[in-house]
Amino acid sequence: MSYAIKDTSYEGKYGPVTRFELEVDGVHMATLTQAGRKDPELTWAVHGPQSWPAAKQLLLGLLELSVHADKLSKGAFNARVKS
Amino acid sequence: MRASSHSKVPTPSVCCDHQRRTCLLLAIDAKDATYISFAIEGFDVVRSDATDFTKRYHPLGDYPPERCAQLYASYSRDLGASEQAILELGKLTTISDQEKTMATKKRAANAASVPAEKPAAKKAAAKTAPAKKATVKKVAGDGATNRPSAAQLFQELIMEGKKTDDQIFAEVQKQFGLDEKKRGYVKWYRNYLEKQGKNPPAAK
């Protein structure tokens, strides 16, 4: 059992849209989206009972997505500019 | 050639693999790469071959390692972290003593939960043991006596259809010593046989 984060970014109508999708064993679990310079949005949903091994992977995947979300955030941008 | 390709990776830096799993690269030279890995058991400092590392990971780019360290440190309170990992994270961000103890305690708890598989193995062995006994019993049962159970006798007598419900109960009571409260069992078994589709004869 493992998770993967796929980069499915695309060129939207109003500019580039950064999108990362979390999959646990090939099943879509969560999406991180950032349109232009807006704040990144993390959406996720779990349907039905999850086994503990799957839940662990989901937990890790969400934490990893949070790292990517932080990278895309304005805070990280400001920190980059300062340094 | 190798050394030059490795030296291009700045340290410390945030890297990710092809599945975008992150790690915090602490140091890399011609031979080894040292990094903080991210796993459910907690954060740990891992040393691997530099070539393997560069094959698997690439820099995430434009992401301050201090910020990543800050996130890792906050996660470590719940996931746990080794002392070495906390020490390295502490060089990049400020971690309070309380956070350090929480992370290392959590890590120790995670490590302690691993040998808990032993009782599970015992349970598995215990589960298999009665199965053996059961087979032994069955072999003994197939031998001489083969005495029917009360349930079996109820069903046989009902299917014969020669006796009344009272007579059936009296016979089973005689053989198995049932008390009067179980008189209703005859009806119950007749109904049970009907549900099984065996079409028992009607009560006399």
Q: Does the pLDDT at position A80 exceed 70?
A: no
A5·B21 Cβ contact <8 A: yes
* pLDDT computed for residue A29 by the predictor: 92
| Complex prediction ipTM | 0.84
For chain B, residues with pLDDT lower than 50 are 1-4, 116-118, 120-121, 124-125, 128-145
In percent, the amount of chain A with pLDDT more than 90 equals 48
- Per residue in B132-153, pLDDT (tens digit) is 444 434 434 444 445 668 888 8
Which residues in chain A have Cβ-Cβ distances shorter than 8 Å to B14? 67, 71
A56·B40 Cβ contact <8 A: yes
pTM of the entire structure? 0.62
Tell me which chain B residue has its CA closest to the CA of residue A61: B21
- Per residue in A58-68, pLDDT (tens digit) is 999 999 999 99
* pLDDT computed for residue B40 by the predictor: 79
Which residues in chain A have Cβ-Cβ distances shorter than 8 Å to B21? 5, 64
Neighbours of A71 (CB within 10 A): 25
Which residues in chain A have Cβ-Cβ distances shorter than 8 Å to B20? 4-7, 20, 64, 68
- Would you kindly state where each structural domain of chain B is located, as residue ranges? 3-113, 140-195
